[in-house]
Structure 1
């Protein structure tokens, strides 16, 4: 059997359609229910569905009155505040195309974005860096728009562009990824396929308002379901999260693996009686960290896989837990394959994870680089660039980035596999693996780790000899104060070899 998961397509996206209208679809019926609570150690700032929808549609009116038109591109240079999701959905309400960006971008980085996209305007928090642009709308004016009369949702073709996000850039130059209004429709497949989310849930996301993971999983998806979103206020210490989860009766918690890791470093036992489970995405979750969370909370942790170009489409869930080291399986309605050069590989064989061109969560294209988008296609399949293997039951094991794959003596080795083994070793808090050049054209695997102190190399070698095939074993172990990460907190494996060179010169 070939590695293809296809259990039928999802229901078609209705037309006409508007992404923001879909997210706020239950707002009228739940007008007095709390949609969002910004959590503090001494209370919370709460917004009802009625207040939230009024602010979103008032902002849409304000943007149109400012001279923006449907189809215009609007660059968002806003901080980690509630203005971010309100403005994002306000723009989409009016048919304007927002471009959410990290507040950590520098002025030169924003200059490149402005040159590439030629935005009609920039929404600007004065405390957030941004290059010059002739039309900037300040934060004070933006906030005042909330009280304007509500704009009507601009309905239209679900295939038209709704928003643009940038890739992380870890695989090369960051690309502007254009998504259609239908992208939100695709996220319905996550509700049972990952979240197990209902209207009665209180979902707490540990990320910032201006992070796309938070924007989707932490805000828009709970609002689509009529649930309550809980977001810790900016600057909240990770050590305070267990108390916030308990005090505010969170039923689902979402974060990146790094947050779970830090929480468990500070608290061996986390008491939160209402918590049903946790959600994890952003980078590969280690088996060791997963087991520590279950032990500390008595609840499960469900992992998901997605990317800037396509919303999360492989995951474990309460209905379909992951088996062993697998990520999970494609969500109901998804069509996913593991491809080799000639198409789908046999079940169990390694290949590139691919999602079908028809997936409603797949991007429209890369703006100003459509040829690169087409280069990612293999027939009807979009190549993710990540390696995996599909079992007979559809469960997919993640084997790392195609360009992260290490070559040791002619064998291709996944860094994720090496990292998973070493992450269980006492005294290691975080680990990254990479191939390093020890002499001309001779590469070995090196492990870079953080922890309270440098560990005994002989003991580490004995450990990996017992847990990894010889060709997978690191030949060098380098203790670092911190591992290199990108602006989104992900491990930058490509940067690791430079640390090896620095320690050997």
Structure 2
């Protein structure tokens, strides 16, 4: 359990060393990573092998002339080398920039230019055209990574300070372009309250995560947390099959399973849970989307296992949760994890915490080691979320008398798509370029009580008759899949304020009135 005495990491701290060095020394032969692929093919990596490979990659990256603090973009699929390159960059004192292979070349180019990327590591199946061309930027392929792993390893992990930058994660902001969230090495130390209070994670556990490595939820909960505790992580990179997860839980002896709520919903609907022995599973954990009480109840009825929810964001990861030490309260994501300082602040005025029961901005104290260093080259946006001693991420919430958090939506218009935050401005900008569109607004659209999708509300140009399918295809060519609208609604006009600003929260109502 985290106590006030160990909230802060040592002054000299390297995240990769923290996850690998001691494990390699004391449990080198233990399986660190299991990759299950197509046809049930299984590959394994021990802690000793992971430590050796990571230090080999670190030496190889430095051998290419990369300097401390330079950015290395990882443009790979769900393959074992993704995590090794990620930790290799940290081990070398470089800054890792995880990215999704779903990004279009234009989206990837923005990240490369904005971050001033010095090297791009390309994964299997990605063509040279998928790597943006930036002068002086190195392109590193899988053959290069294989040579690094086989080469002489770095003698020791880089001697970094806890506050030195380690990871740059891009997330949608309130503008039309994603913004970079810069984390220090100490962010991994800051995850420690999750281990006991949300995950219930120990060295004896086997963690199966349903996500892909490019997602911070997977990199954190699926890999970093198990490795920080000396546990085993299991990932799947075969064809997407909604019925695969109960089989993998049984076959791999998973004691913990992590996914977004929609995966649990799909399992209940499409998988024959009764065919698989899930006795090894202690509980499931969920984040990225709100967990409905109905889904949690249905899962427990079908499996006898609880679901523990967490609330977080890219800037701090998960800091509110239910779990083995925090009883579930249906409808609430839980309480602040012990050791976290959380408050509700008024949206305007002095940052004085509000009493229980009042709604305001959910805030976490700036002393939390898991909190970001800041936004990459976005000082104005950074200043906007800092209120005195507090960081506010834009979530509206209240605390009840027992300290449970009750979520009341966003103070801005950011959308949530399968756990990714997506800016409506970015999607609107793509659709505004379509020749048949005069105006467009984008917002979340509830398709069920517990499920929302990104929807575009379109006003066609006079005489034009665009169809929904072609507009979705237009977006699919220019946006990552998770940013692409799932629904199109046509309107005569967009609802606007007296000042002409589109009222995104009224878009769905306007479409209903036309139907």
What TM-score do you get using the length of structure 1 for normalisation?
Answer: 0.80
Q: What residue number does 2:215 align with?
A: 211
- Report the secondary structure of 1:344's partner residue: coil
Q: Which moved more, 1:297-306 or 1:35-44?
A: 35-44
1:350 equivalenced with 2:359 (yes/no): yes
CA distance in 1, matches of 2:34, 2:449: 39
Q: What residue number does 2:464 align with?
A: none
- Report the secondary structure of 2:51's partner residue: helix
- Report the secondary structure of 1:26's partner residue: helix
Deviation at 1:501, TM superposition (A): 3.7
Conserved? CA contact 1:7–1:334, under 8 Å: no
> Paired residues, what number?
441
Residue in structure 1 matching 2:242, options 238, 243, 263: 238
Q: Which moved more, 1:140-149 or 1:215-224?
A: 140-149
Matches within 5 A, 1:244-263: 244-263=248-267
Residue in structure 1 matching 2:395, options 386, 392, 395: 386
1:332 equivalenced with 2:328 (yes/no): no
Task: Spell out, residue by residue over 1:33-84, the C-alpha distance to the aligned partner (whole angstroms, 9 max, x if none).
Answer: 1111112453521111111111111111111111111111111212221111
Conserved? CA contact 2:13–2:161, under 8 Å: yes
Residue in structure 1 matching 2:29, options 25, 29, 32: 32
Matches within 5 A, 1:359-370: 359-370=368-379
Conserved? CA contact 2:256–2:285, under 8 Å: yes
Task: Spell out, residue by residue over 1:83-126, the C-alpha distance to the aligned partner (whole angstroms, 9 max, x if none).
Answer: 11100000100101111111111111111112211111211236
Q: What residue number does 1:459 align with?
A: none
CA distance in 2, matches of 1:405, 1:159: 29
- Report the secondary structure of 2:325's partner residue: coil
Conserved? CA contact 2:253–2:280, under 8 Å: yes
Conserved? CA contact 2:59–2:152, under 8 Å: yes
Q: What residue number does 1:75 align with?
A: 73
Conserved? CA contact 2:131–2:139, under 8 Å: no
Q: What residue number does 1:132 align with?
A: 133
Cα distance 1:370–1:433, how it changes in 2: closer, same or farther (>3 A)?
A: closer
1:65 equivalenced with 2:63 (yes/no): yes
CA distance in 2, matches of 1:43, 1:76: 24
Conserved? CA contact 1:180–1:364, under 8 Å: yes
Q: What residue number does 2:301 align with?
A: 295
1:109 equivalenced with 2:136 (yes/no): no
Q: What residue number does 1:118 align with?
A: 116
Q: What residue number does 1:11 align with?
A: 7
RMSD between aligned alpha carbons? 3.2
Deviation at 1:375, TM superposition (A): 1.3
What TM-score do you get using the length of structure 2 for normalisation?
Answer: 0.79
Conserved? CA contact 2:261–2:286, under 8 Å: yes
1:504 equivalenced with 2:508 (yes/no): no
Q: What residue number does 1:100 align with?
A: 98
Residue in structure 2 matching 1:142, options 141, 145, 162: 145
Deviation at 1:324, TM superposition (A): 2.7
CA distance in 2, matches of 1:492, 1:11: 42
CA distance in 1, matches of 2:325, 2:168: 32
Conserved? CA contact 1:436–1:500, under 8 Å: no
